[in-house]
Amino acid sequence: MQQPEVLTIYRGHREWVSTLSWLPDGRHIVSGSADGTVQLWESDSGKNVLMYNGHSLGVTAVACSPDGSSIASASLDTTVQVWDAQSGKTQTAYRGHSAWIRRALAWSPHGRRIASGSWDRTVQVWDAFSGEDLLTYRGHEGVVCAVAWSPDGRYLASGGGIPDKSVQVWHAEAGERLLSYREHLSSVHSVRWMADGKRILSGGARSHACLWEVTTGKTLVLYYYSDETGLVWSPDEQYFLCQTHGMVEIWVAHSDKCVYRSPSQMYKINAMSWSPDGTRIAFGGHNKTVVVWNVEPLLAKS
């Protein structure tokens, strides 16, 4: 099986990489680490552009504004900080949570609001630039592990940890719960709203992912894997990336065709992301690096 081309290996972090995201321009990546820093760098050269040191403890999640001008980062220090992607200047420091945020951090499609979920069992919706509290959702029985906005920004889906194990869909303005999806056997670590706004893909820890209808909760497809990273879909929703027994795999969506499987188990990977144009994949983990692959030749042959 053809191997992907390694384009860049970024070595700027002193501790493991816990989270990463491509900027909308496709030329930059932001990565957060247990070393307490958030670093912005060029995806093709690995050149560091900016280092944000506003957090006092390890960084657990990052999210970029839709226009790429601002970055939100969450930390074990229980804050979410919003800062300028050009200057690194802090714009907002949100302190509404009483416990740390893991991966549950999402910017609204219109760029004015942020949703963050925490081990305090709440999802909080707040103004990205004033820090004003807009809504606190308390529908989960356990920690909140994931959160995602609907494409139109009207609804939110949030994933709960044990004992909850549910995905809850609720109105982003009123907080009214519309549906609880309870087909997962473990904590829900990833939630993605499909582009059509009618389906959600949610992934359970070391278990399976479910593609299901938002209005009815009907399960459409089950995907099986064995890692907490979950399934990461390509921008065009034609492929997904996952880990199974420590090996990175790329699959054609809704089929049994594997485009790529790493020849051996890899180090522990904590975060994976497709570039906006779908040609590259970035992943980071416990070896303190972020690696960028060119996967376009693999996909062209599929």
Q: What is the pLDDT of residue 288?
A: 97
Q: What is the pLDDT of residue 129?
A: 94
Total structural domains in the chain? 1
Q: What is the pLDDT of residue 245?
A: 74
Query: Which pairing describes strands 258-261 and 269-274: parallel, antiparallel, or unpaired?
Result: unpaired
Q: What is the pLDDT of residue 167?
A: 97
Q: What is the pLDDT of residue 199?
A: 96
> Which domain covers residue 102, as residue numbers?
5-300
Q: What is the pLDDT of residue 135?
A: 97
Q: What is the pLDDT of residue 82?
A: 98
Q: What is the pLDDT of residue 14?
A: 98
Q: Indicate which CATH number applies to the domain containing 233.
A: 2.130.10.10
Q: What is the pLDDT of residue 300?
A: 85
Ranges in the chain, pLDDT < 70? 1, 206, 226, 228
